[in-house]
Structure 1
Amino acid sequence: MAIVFDILSASGILAITVYGALLVWRNLQENRLATHYYGLELELLDEQLKRQQQITRTTINRTQDAWEGFRKFELRGKVLEADGICSFYLAPHDGKPLPAFHPGQYLTFKINLQDEQKPLIRCYSLSDSPTHPDYYRVTIKHERPPTDRPDLPPGKSSSYFHQLFNPDDIIDVKAPSGHFYLDMDHNNPVVLIGGGIGITPVLSMLNTLIVEDSNREIWFFYGA
């Protein structure tokens, strides 16, 4: 009987020892995993911090190159894209650097017409990518009278751009602005929808994705 108890006692001690060893091993594994995940979290946090710093630097650079109020621009090129639709290539008259812009933003123009007491203020979307440091491009449709109301006058500002605004002419322009733009800091799929001349901000977004060789999934829908 004593031998049996000794065997049971030894078995119990062995079981406790094995159980204790398993607990120690499990704790070591948990600590190792915790250390691993903690390291991954630190790496992710570091990447997010670097990304935010880059965004901040980019924002500062944009702000430094931007300007207050109106700035004089010179028309460098005028391209007929289709019937009644022209693209206008604008360069700063002072020759200073142009700030980058977000694809989808617009320019504000001050147009002085002889028969108007006050300047016309009009906004037109930038239609190209922001990768061109020496010019901006806007694409404008000539707003003609409706076919069923030929007695109505055409659009004043679009008529000015199409009929009176020629290469080497000067125009007043505000810095790019607007909150409708494509976020280039993410890699999620992009759905672009445009209709008629409303394609201009969408075209800026699409051109930017192409120029930057983006691997994002892109869906483009257009209705004329």
Structure 2
Amino acid sequence: MLELVKAGGWPMIPLLLLSLVALAIIVERAWTLRRAAVMPPGLGKEVRAWASRGKLDPSHIESLRRTSPLGELLAAALDVRNGTREQMRERVEDVGRHLVHRMERFLNTLGTIAAAGPLLGLFGTVVGMIQMFLVIGDQGIGDVNQLAGGIGKALVCTATGMIVAIPALMAHRWFRGRVGEYIVSMEHEAIQLLDTIDPPARAARPARPAPVKARA
């Protein structure tokens, strides 16, 4: 392995650094985006039971906010439970955007690594080929076996770039899909909570007209 790294030359250094960064991001996101950490099982049902029984004191809401992203979203809806349904929906959407941004943290970096890996590998190969042809121009072709070995060493960077990019691309796609799945599930839980706090029949009831002031 060390011989392959040496064969690739200095372009292998950024590729190795990218591989370490990609590995760190994959491990961190895999741990952070666990279902139990994002959407604890039974949490939505428990919060709806709180809401139906009226147990919505500030301490309960604050403890809910610290449990998970789903808890933070449901707590945001409970913060404005005395407002209109439209106000609650706006609050949920606003907090939801921040939660999505937080769950997608580092994913752009991972996607950049997936795109840059093959390009850096190709760059290393081109550098190796240029050095080889410069030697050929000075000393001639010489031994064909040495020439073939030199070409093989130059291709090490291309292979390394693909090795870095393929897992990074697969992880990037997988995490994106997982975040999208969480968004849909969290939206469903939030809608169920809104229906518990403010049933659709009540939401559909027309607003009471404002009293008309008597003219002076």
Shorter-chain TM-score above 0.5: no
Bin of the TM-score, shorter chain as denominator length: under 0.3
Q: Which has the higher strand share?
A: 1
Q: Compare CA radii of gyration and give the structure with the larger one.
A: 1
TM-score (norm 1): 0.26
RCO comparison, higher one (Cα < 8 Å, 6+): 2
Larger helix share, 1 or 2 = 2
